[in-house]
Amino acid sequence: MKHFTWVLLAALWFGTLGIRPLYKADESRYGEISREMVASGDWITPRLNGFKYFEKPPLQYWTTAAAFEVFGAHDWVARLWTALIGFAGIALTLWAGNRLFGKPVGFYAAAILAGSPLYALLGQINTLDMSVSFFLSAAVFAFAAGHMLVFWAACALAVLSKGLIGIVLPLGAVFFYMLATRDWSVIRRIRPLAGPIVFLAIAAPWFIAVSAANPEFVHFFFVQEHFQRFTTEMHGRGQPAWYFVAVLAAGMVPWLLPLGLGAYRAVRSRDRSEWLLLVWAMVVLVFFSASHSKLASYILPAFPALAVLAARHLERKPLLAQSLLVVLGGVAAAAVVTKLGGSYPEYAPWLVAAALMLAVAAALGAFFAWRGAAPIGVACLAAGGLAATQLGLAGHVTVADRFTVAPTLAKARELPPPGVPVFAVDTYDHTLPWTLGRTVTMVKYRDELGVAIDWEPNKFVPDLAAFARAWREAPQAWAFVPADDAGKLSRELGIPMQELARGPTFALVKKP
């Protein structure tokens, strides 16, 4: 039965990776960086659309590039590392729950995590958050279990996944845990000499190599992408202080009653493992709430620990009440989506089906909880949360043309041949180079690559006049232009353009 459960979970988890093309911006950005790593053979300096890209460390680029070498550069392969590390996070949470609190806490915790909509969603999307979440959780669980060198190694891999939060957050949690418990022996037990050596042996080599090859790296990565990102709204990601509380509630919505009960009892408990997990979750929540740069996915590292806390005190009555609430919520959500329709009428039926699927699964969960079969009830509710998330995500392919150029290119009668210049005129979309499998020449619009363009300005066309000259001089040329501007650009610049395909965002044109 255990093996069947894992096989079924794997089928649900991995079975939808290739349904949607990679979306803008994160998915196609990180897929393209890995593709260019394979194409160039340079595994030290990450590049995006040919420009140096130092916003994040390379661990996920490396793993995805290695997968491209084996399976080819496909959409599902670009998502494979995220899915694998998310699946591993479920297994890690199972181990941690059983190791810290005994059975069946591990099973409950793994089910809660797999059935949490935000965790399931981010396990299917090519971002860096699942990777850093896994290694941060591994560090905290290793510390709780007394495996201190594993703690330091996991911190190093977290740093290589997404930067300095990989060491700052775990050490911050350990510090506040030590203060809360007055357990000063932590200073000795954490292996303060051997541990940092292990950490540096894993994390330092790439930072040394990339700094030696690129003098721009140190200031950009450590000052701009850490200090300035945290203290300013330079990326336009400002949100209210309570933002992550709302994200957390929505992201674990099928489990809010067990989560609330687990957190309350952890505060009153004398169990130091519970305190550690609660302190960790609060450090993540407070740290990112204080930041001026907020995205919903940033809260993910708290989920495995919260799943264990919720599982620690999961009881029949809260499970029954939670399941009944989810039934009502699912039916209400289906009714609201049916009535309002929204901006995506073709997508609405998928959301209705997902909401009703969750309601049915929760009804089964309530039935088994009422009959005293709590493990089956937990499994039903978790399966409903995961399956509903997967169904809603898979159905999003109906509106994919608003998030990627892939459907637009699929309509084109022909595509740019190798070696012919392709321009992105007064616009840029990260799905362009990924879908084409080659870089494009950006015209006028700098997007997030402004600093990197200043490093290598010869790869950029600064204005429309320069673009018009390049267009006239090239024997063949192709371009992506804003969908509503194709005719106007041709007239204003006095250059011929033949339209080959048009989507909601872009038109694909070529020199006749």
Dump pLDDT digits (tens) for 1-55: 577 889 999 999 999 999 999 999 899 999 999 999 999 999 999 999 999 999 9
d(CA 447, CA 444): 9
Same domain, residue pair 480 and 500: yes
- Structure tokens that stand for 180 in this block: 């809360």
Instruction: Report the share of the chain in percent with pLDDT over 90.
Output: 86
Mean pLDDT of all residues in 483-502: 89
Same domain, residue pair 427 and 503: yes
d(CA 304, CA 300): 8
Banded pLDDT at 231 (limits 50, 70, 90): low
Per-residue b or e along 69-104, where b marks 16 or more CB atoms closer than 10 Å to that residue's CB? eeeebebbbbbbbbbbbbbebbebbbebbbbbbeeb
CA angle in degrees (0–180, nearest 5) for 140-98-124: 65
d(CA 357, CA 384): 6
> Domain of 482?
406-510
The answer for residues whose C-beta is within 8 angstroms of residue 147's C-beta and 6 or more apart is: none
- Final residue in a domain of this structure, among 345, 365, 398: 398
The answer for residues whose C-beta is within 8 angstroms of residue 369's C-beta and 6 or more apart is: 316, 319, 320, 323, 377
Banded pLDDT at 257 (limits 50, 70, 90): very high
Mean pLDDT of all residues in 430-448: 94
pLDDT of 177: 96
Same domain, residue pair 410 and 490: yes
In this structure, is residue 21 part of a structural domain?
no
pLDDT tens for 133-178 read: 999 999 999 999 999 999 999 999 999 999 999 999 999 999 999 9
Reply yes or no on whether the pLDDT at 222 is more than 80: yes
- Distance between first and last Cα of the chain: 63
Same domain, residue pair 437 and 477: yes
Q: With beta carbons less than 8 A apart as the criterion, state whether 416 and 422 touch.
A: yes
Reply yes or no on whether the pLDDT at 488 is more than 70: yes
Reply yes or no on whether the pLDDT at 262 is more than 80: yes
Q: With beta carbons less than 8 A apart as the criterion, state whether 384 and 254 touch.
A: yes
Mean pLDDT of all residues in 219-239: 70
pLDDT tens for 279-326 read: 999 999 999 999 887 899 999 999 999 999 999 999 999 999 999 999
In this structure, is residue 299 part of a structural domain?
no
pTM of the predicted model as reported, rounded to 2 decimal places = 0.95
Same domain, residue pair 415 and 497: yes
DSSP per position, 123-182: TSS--SHHHHHHHHHHHHHHHHHT-HHHHHHHHHHHHHHHSTHHHHHHHHHHHHHHHHHT
Please name every residue paired with 498 in a beta bridge, in sequence order, or none if there are none: 510
Same domain, residue pair 386 and 427: no
Work out the mean pLDDT of the chain and round it to a whole number. Answer: 94
In this structure, is residue 120 part of a structural domain?
no
Reply yes or no on whether the pLDDT at 459 is more than 60: yes
Same domain, residue pair 370 and 417: no
3-state SS, one letter per residue, for 26-58: HHHHHHHHHHHHHHHCCCCCCEECCEECCCCCC
- Final residue in a domain of this structure, among 398, 422, 443: 398
Same domain, residue pair 462 and 414: yes
Helix (H, G, I), strand (E, B) or coil at 424: strand
pLDDT of 292: 80
Reply yes or no on whether the pLDDT at 373 is more than 60: yes
Taken in order 386, 315, 137, 87, the sign of the CA dihedral is negative
Q: Which long-range contacts (CB under 8 A, 24 or more apart) does 8-13 make?
A: 9/87, 9/90, 9/114, 9/386, 10/87, 12/383, 12/386, 12/387, 12/390, 13/83, 13/86, 13/87, 13/114, 13/123, 13/386
Q: With beta carbons less than 8 A apart as the criterion, state whether 89 and 130 touch.
A: yes
Helix (H, G, I), strand (E, B) or coil at 2: helix
Reply yes or no on whether the pLDDT at 235 is more than 60: no
Nearest to 116 by CA among 289, 278, 248, 297: 248
pLDDT of 132: 98
In this structure, is residue 35 part of a structural domain?
no
pLDDT of 238: 60
Read off the DSSP letter of residue 243.
H
Banded pLDDT at 403 (limits 50, 70, 90): very high
In this structure, is residue 89 part of a structural domain?
no
Same domain, residue pair 506 and 410: yes
Banded pLDDT at 486 (limits 50, 70, 90): confident
Same domain, residue pair 345 and 361: yes
pLDDT of 374: 94
CA distances from 138 to 159, 223, 389 (A): 13, 27, 25
- Final residue in a domain of this structure, among 381, 398, 415: 398
In this structure, is residue 64 part of a structural domain?
no
pLDDT of 339: 84
- Structure tokens that stand for 472 in this block: 């006239």
3-state SS, one letter per residue, for 190-226: CCCCHHHHHHHHHHHHHHHHHHHHCCCHHHHHHHHHH
In this structure, is residue 380 part of a structural domain?
yes
- The residue assigned the tokens 């089928």 is 11
Reply yes or no on whether the pLDDT at 278 is more than 70: yes
Same domain, residue pair 360 and 336: yes
Same domain, residue pair 485 and 431: yes
141, amino acid identity: F
pLDDT tens for 325-337 read: 999 999 999 999 9
In this structure, is residue 501 part of a structural domain?
yes
Reply yes or no on whether the pLDDT at 105 is more than 90: yes
d(CA 511, CA 168): 53
Banded pLDDT at 345 (limits 50, 70, 90): confident
Q: How many CB atoms lie within 10 A of CB 357?
A: 21
Banded pLDDT at 194 (limits 50, 70, 90): very high
**Domains: count for the chain:** 2
